[in-house]
Amino acid sequence: MSTTEPPLQLLQAPYFKHLSEVVAQLRRSPQLMLYLESASYRHFACTLCGDCCRQPWEIKVSEAYYRRWADVFAQEASGRFKEAMVLRKKPDKYAFADFRRQPGSYACVFLEPDQSCWIHTHHGEAALSEVCRSYPRSHKIVGHRYESRLLMHSCEAVPEQNARYPELLYRLQPVTHFASQQHETASDGFPGRYETWLLLGLLYDLLEQPLPVSVLARWGQAQSVLQEIYHLGLNRLQASHLHLMYEQRMQSLSLTGQPGSPQDQQTALKWLSSYVSAHPGLQSWLRQLRPDQLPPPLSAISAERFNHHLTLYLRNRLLNLPYLDHFAGSLNLWQHCFLITLQLCSLQGLMLYYLRTEAELSDDHCYRAIQFAGRALEQRTAFKEKAWIESLSPLACIEGIRILLSLDYGQAGSPA
Ligand code: SF4
pLDDT number for residue 43:
93
Count the Cβ atoms, other than its own, within 10 Å of residue 102.
13
Is residue 292 domain-shared with residue 350, that is, in the same domain?
Answer: yes
Reduced to 3 states (helix: H, G, I; strand: E, B; else coil), residue 295 is coil
| 397 within some domain | yes
Is residue 254 domain-shared with residue 315, that is, in the same domain?
Answer: yes
Is residue 329 domain-shared with residue 223, that is, in the same domain?
Answer: yes
| Residue of 100, 121, 128 to mutate, ligand 1, most atoms within 8 A of C-beta | 128
Is residue 269 domain-shared with residue 336, that is, in the same domain?
Answer: yes
Helix (H) or strand (E) segment spanning residue 97? strand 97-99
Residue closest to 38 by CA, chosen among 199, 165, 145: 165
Is residue 167 domain-shared with residue 154, that is, in the same domain?
Answer: yes
Q: How far is the CA of 326 from the centre of ligand 1 (A)?
A: 22
pLDDT number for residue 176:
64
What gap in Å lies between CA 350 and CA 364, rounded to an integer?
12
| Residue of 111, 112, 114 to mutate, ligand 1, most atoms within 8 A of C-beta | 111
pLDDT number for residue 413:
46
| 309 within some domain | yes
DSSP string, 133-157: HHTTEEEEEETTTEEEEEE-TTSTT
The residue out of 134, 156, 175 marking a domain boundary is 134
pLDDT number for residue 74:
94
Question: Could you identify the atom of ligand 1 that is nearest to the CA of residue 112?
Answer: 7
| 4 within some domain | no
What gap in Å lies between CA 105 and CA 101, rounded to an integer?
7
Q: Which residues line ligand 1 (CB under 6 A)?
A: 53, 59, 99, 108, 110-111, 117, 119-120, 128, 132
Nearest CA to ligand 1 atom 5: 53
Question: Could you identify the atom of ligand 1 that is nearest to the CA of residue 108?
Answer: 6
Torsion of CA 199, 202, 204, 208, to 10 degrees: -170
Do residues 407 and 260 make contact, with C-beta atoms less than 8 angstroms apart?
yes
Give 99's strand partners: 85
Reading the chain (416 residues) residue by residue, the pLDDT tens digits are 445 778 999 999 999 999 999 999 999 988 888 899 999 999 998 888 899 999 888 889 999 999 999 999 999 988 999 999 999 998 899 899 999 999 999 999 999 999 999 999 999 989 999 999 999 998 877 655 678 899 988 899 999 999 999 999 999 988 765 544 444 444 567 788 889 889 999 999 999 887 778 888 889 888 889 999 999 998 899 999 999 999 998 887 665 555 678 899 999 999 988 888 888 999 998 888 877 777 777 888 888 888 899 999 999 888 877 665 555 557 788 888 998 898 899 998 898 898 888 888 899 999 999 998 888 766 655 555 556 788 899 999 999 999 999 888 766 544 43
Nearest CA to ligand 1 atom 3: 132
Question: Could you identify the atom of ligand 1 that is nearest to the CA of residue 59?
Answer: 5
Reduced to 3 states (helix: H, G, I; strand: E, B; else coil), residue 369 is helix
Q: CA distances (Å), 342 to each of 216, 276, 314, 336, 348, in order?
A: 11, 10, 12, 10, 10
Q: How far is the CA of 283 from the centre of ligand 1 (A)?
A: 31
Residue closest to 393 by CA, chosen among 322, 331, 323: 331
CA angle 12-13-17, nearest 5°? 95
Is residue 227 domain-shared with residue 259, that is, in the same domain?
Answer: yes
Is residue 220 domain-shared with residue 154, that is, in the same domain?
Answer: no
Is residue 235 domain-shared with residue 87, that is, in the same domain?
Answer: no
Q: How far is the CA of 143 from the centre of ligand 1 (A)?
A: 31
What gap in Å lies between CA 32 and CA 376, rounded to an integer?
36
- Rounded to the nearest 10 degrees, the angle between the axes of helix 300-319 and helix 363-372 is 30
Reduced to 3 states (helix: H, G, I; strand: E, B; else coil), residue 415 is coil
Q: In what order do the strands lie in the sheet with 168-174?
A: 9-10, 168-174, 32-38, 146-151, 137-142
Count the Cβ atoms, other than its own, within 10 Å of residue 368.
16
290: containing domain? 215-404
What gap in Å lies between CA 146 and CA 143, rounded to an integer?
6
Do residues 30 and 174 make contact, with C-beta atoms less than 8 angstroms apart?
no
Region of 206 (left: φ > 0; alpha: ψ -120 to 50; beta: rest) is alpha
Total number of domains constituting the chain? 3
Reduced to 3 states (helix: H, G, I; strand: E, B; else coil), residue 170 is strand
Nearest CA to ligand 1 atom 4: 132
Residue closest to 409 by CA, chosen among 330, 302, 332, 272: 302
Is residue 224 domain-shared with residue 348, that is, in the same domain?
Answer: yes
| 188 within some domain | no
| 270 within some domain | yes
Q: What is the pTM of this model?
A: 0.86
Q: How far is the CA of 312 from the centre of ligand 1 (A)?
A: 29
The residue out of 118, 134, 150 marking a domain boundary is 134
Is residue 359 domain-shared with residue 393, that is, in the same domain?
Answer: yes
Is residue 250 domain-shared with residue 338, that is, in the same domain?
Answer: yes
| 106 within some domain | yes
| 27 within some domain | yes
pLDDT number for residue 2:
47
| 194 within some domain | no
Is residue 242 domain-shared with residue 325, that is, in the same domain?
Answer: yes
